[in-house]
Chain A
Amino acid sequence: MKKLTEEQQVVDPGLDEQVKKLTPEMIQKVVKRVLTKEASARLKVYIDTCVRCGLCAEACNTYLSRNKDPQFAPVSKVKNTLWELVKRKGNVDGEFVRNMARIVFTECGVCRRCSMYCPFGIDIAYLLLLVRRICSLLGVVPQYLQDTTNSHAATMNQMWVHQDEWIDTLQWQEEEAQAEIPSARIPLEKEGAEVMYSVIAPEPKILAQLLGNMALIFKVAGVDWTMPATDGWDNSNMAMYSGDFEIMGRVERLHWETAARLKVKKIVMGECGHAFRGAVYDGPRWLGWSFPPIPMVHAIEFYYDMLKSGRIKIREKYKEHVTIQDPCNTVRGRGLGDKLRYVINELCDNFTDVDPRLEHNYCCMAGGGTINCGPPWKRSRMKSNKVKAEQLAATGAHIVITPCHNCHSGIEDIIGFYKLGMHVKFISEIMVETMVIPEELKG
């Protein structure tokens, strides 16, 4: 028998137990549904066009980090999953489905770097998401990730936060902010406000001080803002990554409907990459809109506007040696890399850029739901991102700034695993430390 790799031996009931329930008929039915009903032109053209040149390999942090193991090249991941499904018309067994789920959920962060390295622009991340979709319909999803999706389905947020906890947390953070600026507020349900501020569930659950920070920043900038007191405040979307597009659509619809109910002019969303992607791209398309119905800006852009227009001024720049983690979903996914650098340079004295940078930055290997696959897969994720550790170490910085929750946790993991001795910060944390708080606000 062939020796199993370390990754193949990982125990995850979401995969192990679930594949036991599959029958060949179920697998074939689902594969047929997805490959003929849910996908057409792109799937066909991408499969016909790929000349198997291997040029996409160079793009992938997993391949680069694992000594160029051919199994980890983007095209190999497609070969090991989708090509086989197409060739065998879905006639595959549970073992195959288990391997396929491992590959697409834990060894690819759907960061889309490879589509920038394929001369044809083949969207490999899309192809691998199709495979996730198949896995999801078969019920074979890493258990931690599925739990997050279940949380979305039951509570419309990612971390089982109940409405009372939500409101309570906001009020607590409002008080925290008032210790600094007595007139700071977190206005709930203010109809007709200029801005609705959206966050992802980890903020109220584990990083509540970030909400307090925003209350200060909005106050200083003089922004007319609000947050909903109802469900619809969370725009993170792990269902988008687990392949449960029905729930993905429900989450996004509620989020947009909440903004519409509050009649806001725009949404500013917190420092998170995939949430931006879900709200601006995947969600609207699933719901049948080409573009979002209400303008939405990411925190990077919001900070940029505030600094550029002078609504926020910096008292004294941050002294520590900093570098950046460019989040895929806002840099490759929105071109905000230059604005991010503007913001960092405004806030910090000592900034060393990463290489490669901007759109070419490596993914943190936490995104695309991979970190949400939980502890069983952590070691594998770490092995898949040695290049990130090397890239960060080369900057010699102490602080990694990243405006993305997933990147934040992912980079923390990498720093710990590779003993880099660095720390990770959000922009808002540095902004509240360095901005000018006008005398009249200090009270």
Chain B
Amino acid sequence: MNIALRDAQPAFSPQVRFEGAPFLAAPKVQAPAPDAGAAFAFQGVRKAFGPKAVLHGLDLTVPAGAFVAVIGKSGCGKSTLLRLLTGLDAPTSGAIAFEASGAKDPARLTRVMFQEPRLLPWARVVANVEVGLSHLRSKAERRRTALSLLADVGLADRADEWPSVLSGGQRQRVALARALASRPRILALDEPLGALDALTRIEMQQLLERIWLQQGFTAVLVTHDVAEAVALADRVVLVEEGRIALDLEIPLPRPRRRGSPELARLEGVILEKLLGSAA
């Protein structure tokens, strides 16, 4: 067992109270590699920018391989939560613990995908994917791996094009291939489909679900689309006033049918909570 700890205090603070943490294994449709995902836990995480606190002691425990959707109003701290999870920012207080058996490189534990694809315009599509493969020594191996990742997202034939000639959805798929390149245990997604049109969105959701089922990483998807959240996630958490205001299991089998009454009911529950608190 391998415990990584990211927190606000010095590394040897007495906060390491995590041996034998009671992480549950997430139920899964197929079984990819058993250690493909990592579990993590936010423990009383507070994050403030100057005097303004964004997260007030947030607790969230996510088992390995789960698919969690995070929703909440604009500015409630969803992106902040992901930046803390991926180590782009440090919590003001509290700790974030990871449990990833057999993980070697903590820098490759998590990867993040943003609303913008953030591709290098001056690098060919395949070279953009290779950005995620810097851990591979051999150039030939990097290219081979990048090409197979592109095939996974259905873009094998676009490998030698410039990103500027791709459509928005295709660029996001390249970004997904790049994020998955180093086989992260946790994939954080910050409204990655927010800028896409409705049809492309649904295609991308299906692609995301398929790849998640194949690879078994832990997925944390921030979205403002409640329908998207219930269609994809095992669990939807609602962030409000810096805390988790709602934590809802979505115990529906996959593949899920969009527009089914069950999904609509759960969507209604969440929307009611979202809007109810606004009134």
Partners in one complex: no
